[in-house]
Amino acid sequence: MQNRIHYIEKDINYDHEARSEMARKNISGVPAFFIGEDIVVGLDKEKILKLVDHRVVECQVCHTKVRVPINKANIIAKCPKCKSKIEINHR
């Protein structure tokens, strides 16, 4: 991909661990992309880039994992669970 995404390629024909991970997650199609806790099956570039544009942060109050976009310098997100504010400052 030309968007400078760092990724690890695993060949399930040779990588038994990757194959069993896919089986565990009920994925039958290839290619499958694991982005954080999300999985995109098939080369859905738009979807992949959207996920890559985000970062998972943890709510400091209830420790819920919240996905926030990283395309802005300062982000204030709201925890979906406890509604507390999550502030992220990028450099």
42: Cβ–Cβ under 8 A, 6 or more apart, which residues?
29, 31, 32
Q: Is residue 61 within the footprint of Zn ion (CB under 5 A)?
A: yes
Q: How far apart are CA 53 and CA 22, in angstroms?
A: 23
Which residues, numbered 62-91, are part of the site for Zn ion (CB under 5 A)? 62, 64, 79, 81-82
Find the shortest distance in angstroms from Cβ 75 to Zn ion.
Answer: 15
Instruction: Extract the tokens encoding 17.
Output: 């661990």
Find the shortest distance in angstroms from Cβ 10 to Zn ion.
Answer: 33
Nearer to Zn ion, 45 or 81 (CB): 81
Binding mask 17-56 for Zn ion (x = CB under 5 A): ----------------------------------------
Q: How far apart are CA 38 and CA 44, in angstroms?
A: 13
Q: How far apart are CA 40 and CA 22, in angstroms?
A: 12
Report the interface residues with Zn ion, using CB under 5 A.
Answer: 59, 61-62, 64, 79, 81-82
